[in-house]
Amino acid sequence: MTETETALLARCRAIPVSTWSDALDQLDVWGVVQGIPLQSGSGRICGFATTARQMPGRLHEFEKAEFAVGRLVSAAAPGRVLMVDVGGEPISTMGGLAAYGAKQLGAEGVVIDGACRDVDEIRNTGLWLASRWVAPTTGKGRLRLLPLGGPVTIGGIAVQQDDLVVGDETGIVVVPRQKLEAALPLAEKLMAADQAVEDRMKAGESFAEAGRATGYLTPKG
């Protein structure tokens, strides 16, 4: 990553998913990923999307080599979030060894609209990973990895290569890269408003008092 991208991600990482969601609402952009819970890891991740699509099929429909999990894992990198579209099928994209490989390469996180397996092993790696399912069913012979970097759909959200992905215990949000310049200052402003309310409450004001004073609950004036 460039120094500019590193600095940009540092600003973005400071902002919770809920605040990003509010900022996107102001831009009439729907970017909240649905139905893909956190399975491993903790805290907040923030990175640019590396997109991948795996075509699902029945057992033996594809050659095992077409699963290509090694190629998928090799795309992991610092500042990047692997966004894997399996069409929501309960077929495992990644188990413990693959997760360990992604962690070794410094992946910011992995989001799978499909399944992972060996979740206990994945948790031991510390990799931040969210998936629609946890299922033992292997992707070998059932999944074909398509060329990386194409458009995908994750939790009902269209995701393009290099979109911003932010995830925490509340959820996952995707900010289209072309909207990031507008969304980031909005999100920072909303976060500052939250902080102003918190500071007043810590000083002894009630939530209602602090909300009215800052315009958090109703516009001032």
- Residue 62, pLDDT above cutoff 90: yes
Q: For 181-198, write each residue's pLDDT tens digit.
A: 999 999 999 999 999 999
Percent of all residues in the chain with a pLDDT value above 70, rounded to a whole number? 99
Q: What is the pLDDT of residue 218?
A: 72
Name which residue leads in pLDDT, 93 or 219.
93
Mean pLDDT (whole number) for 4-19 = 97
Residue 27 has pLDDT above 90, yes or no: yes
Residue-level pLDDT at 1: 84
Q: What is the pLDDT of residue 221?
A: 44
Kind of pairing, strands 45-56 and 38-40?
unpaired
**Is the pLDDT at 71 greater than 50, yes or no?**
yes
Cα 57 to Cα 191: distance, rounded to the nearest angstrom = 44
A 10 A CB-CB count for 71 gives 12
> CA-CA distance, 137 to 57, in Å (whole number)?
12
The predicted model scores a pTM of 0.96
Q: Name which residue leads in pLDDT, 221 or 102.
A: 102
Indicate the residue type of 154: I
Residue 13 to residue 166: CA distance in whole angstroms: 7
Cα–Cα dist 163/104, whole Å: 23
Provide the β-strand partners of residue 164. Answer: 48, 175
Mean pLDDT of 34-63: 98
* pLDDT confidence bin for 24, thresholds 50/70/90: very high
For 110-164, how does the pLDDT look when each residue is reduced to its tens digit (9 = 90+)? 999 999 999 999 999 999 999 999 999 999 999 999 999 999 999 999 999 999 9
How does residue 219 score in pLDDT terms, banded at 50, 70 and 90?
Answer: low
What is the CATH class of 3-179?
alpha beta
Q: Is the pLDDT of residue 176 over 90?
A: yes
* Average per-residue pLDDT for the chain: 96
175 has a pLDDT exceeding 90:
yes
Please name the residue that has the structure tokens 């890891």.
41
